[in-house]
Every structure is written in structure tokens, then in C-alpha cells.
Structure 1
């Protein structure tokens, strides 16, 4: 028996919480399920299936520290998702297929490296 059943949330650091919330809602249609906007701690939890994404506002975000995507989203319609992401992202690769998986990678508003896949 495994000690854990699933990933509960993924944390992404963002420079401006309101801009990041708008970006994720515009691109993916995610809904906020919890928010904390206090002086020393500002974050919003977005509903993404079983695993939430928590956007945490930080004074400085090191966009170049990560060289591989933090996570991949799964999409039923990868072409439609690619079109929408490409319109709103800082950088977006072409759709690629390898070993039965179709995917692309992109950077969000804060330069966080992410991806979308379909199989």
C-alpha cells in the first residue's frame, strides 16, 4: 500500500498574483477555490482536476532557475489548447509526438516552464 495517493497541489511562484490569476483563467479557464491575500502571504489556489495549482506571489521570481517543465497539463484537444496557449504565452514550442505522446512546452506570464500533453 502506498503512503500517499496523489499530488494535492503544485506551487508556482508569480511576481503579480492578480495578473497570474487572470492569465490562468483566460488561457485554461481555471477557477479559484481558495484565496489568501494578507500582507505577508498572498496566494490563490486554482482548481485543476484532482491536483490544484497554488499561485504564490513572491517579490522576486528567478525565471531562469528551472530548465525543464515543472509540470504537464493533460488536454483532450491538444491543437485547440496549443492555439490558446500560443496566443498568451511568452514562449511556446510546436506540437511534438514521441512514443505515443503528443505534447508542447511553454512559459507562463512569469516564465515558469510548463507543458501540455495528450495520449
Structure 2
């Protein structure tokens, strides 16, 4: 029997408290326009290459924020990415570790990672 489950991740849902503020913050750090529609009053689909990200204010609670990174954003230049995020005033919670990655928090306290690919 053929396995019907694909070896792919479709979308990661991120719990956010305010969908408009989260949309603006994520689009700012990713260099995207905020011209997509908020769906159903609580979902914002961030246009990504590969695995998608959906911001969801309906699933938000302090207990549901990511306490460890569930995924990482890729970068080709970890030093440049670190400076960029620092200059944006992002809450950086680690320095660059092993010349490979660093962790930061979004405005809701979700811990995320940027990793050199």
C-alpha cells in the first residue's frame, strides 16, 4: 500500500494576540507588503517560499506561545541577519551560537530562530 502522507510540512501556525500588529511586525522583518487580507478576522497567511506561516489570533494564549523554536528562518549571512534584527529593535535572546543561529522573540513572546543555511 502506498503511503498517502507526504514528506512535507505545509504550514506552521503561530499564536498571536493581535492579528493586525502581528501581521505588521512579521511583514516588516520579512520585507513584505501587508496587502493580503486578514481571513475570518483572525488568520493572516504570510507569503513564503516553501513551508507557509499562518498567524492566528484565535489560538493565542500565553500558554500556547512557542517556548522553543518550532522552526527557523533561513539566512545566507548570519552576521548580517543578526545586525538587521538588532537594528529593528527585535528582542534577541541569544547571541549568534556556533556561528550558525540565534534566537529571538516576537512581540507575543514566541521564541523563533534564524539559522544559516
Task: Determine if the TM-score, normalized by the shorter chain, exceeds 0.5.
Answer: yes
1:47 maps to 47
What is the CA distance between 1:50 and its match in structure 2?
Answer: 0.9
1:93 maps to 94
Listed as ranges, the matches of 1:1-119 within 5 Å are: 3-30=5-32, 35-38=38-41, 42-58=42-58, 60-62=60-62, 66-86=66-86, 87-97=88-98, 102-119=100-117
Q: How many residues align?
A: 113
d(CA) in 1 for partners of 2:60 and 2:26?
Answer: 20
Could you say what secondary structure the match of 1:11 adopts?
strand
Q: 1:10 to 1:59 in 2, by over 3 A?
A: closer
* C-alpha contact (below 8 Å) 2:13/2:53 kept by paired residues: yes
Could you say what secondary structure the match of 1:96 adopts?
coil
* C-alpha contact (below 8 Å) 2:71/2:113 kept by paired residues: yes
Show CA shifts across 1:72-98 (max 9, x none): 11111222221222333234311111x
Structure 1 unmatched ranges of 5 or more: none
d(CA) in 1 for partners of 2:64 and 2:48?
Answer: 25
Structure 2 unmatched ranges of 5 or more: none
* C-alpha contact (below 8 Å) 2:15/2:64 kept by paired residues: no
Across the aligned residues of Structure 1 and Structure 2, the Cα RMSD in angstroms comes to 2.5
Could you say what secondary structure the match of 1:117 adopts?
strand
* C-alpha contact (below 8 Å) 1:11/1:55 kept by paired residues: yes
Show CA shifts across 1:43-98 (max 9, x none): 0100121111000013852167643112111111222221222333234311111x
What is the CA distance between 1:113 and its match in structure 2?
Answer: 0.8
In terms of fraction of residues, the more strand-rich structure is: 1
Could you say what secondary structure the match of 2:54 adopts?
strand
